[in-house]
Amino acid sequence: MEGKIKILVVDDETDALELFKDLFASKGYEVECAPGGMEALALVEKSNIDVVLLDINMPVIDGIETLAKLKQKKPDLPVVMLTAYGYDEELVNKALGLGASGYISKNLPLAQIVHTFKTVLSTIHRK
């Protein structure tokens, strides 16, 4: 990939969007934000997004449904799932089955979130 990696952060919580936007921008990433699945789908259509950080639990269309729709539109787009509810094996397996590239808990310390994201990103680009 040339230039900065462009991340789309999708979360219905404004505080989480701001936190992730600031966190990843400070690490040199270009960051777009969407407050829900419908907005994320629209942004992916018109922007050149390299990777998506997608909250699992959102109103209207949840992260699992959004993931499925994203993968229909762009099967090779890496999507990393976010959750504030700890490890839910059933949800993780469902997301991975639909093509998610990984899973990050929002409850981790910020440095660990960035480290986990970079680890997932490195495995995506080795493929």
Q: Report the alpha-carbon distance of residue 87 to residue 92 in Å, rounded.
A: 8
Q: What is the pLDDT of residue 86?
A: 64
Annotate 25-65 with DSSP letters as a single string: HHTT-EEEEESSHHHHHHHHHHS--SEEEEES--SSS-HHH
Identity at 46, one-letter amino acid code: K
Catalogue all structural domains in the chain, each as residue range(s) with its CATH number: 6-126 (3.40.50.2300)
Q: What is the pLDDT of residue 119?
A: 84
Q: Considering the entire predicted model, what is its pTM?
A: 0.90
CB 91 within 8 A of CB 67: no
Q: Is 107 helix (H, G, I), strand (E, B) or coil?
A: coil
Q: What is the pLDDT of residue 98?
A: 94
Mean pLDDT by 10 residues, the chain (127 residues): 81 94 94 96 93 92 95 93 77 89 86 86 65
Cβ-in-10-Å burial (0-12, 13-18, 19+) of 62 comes to: middle
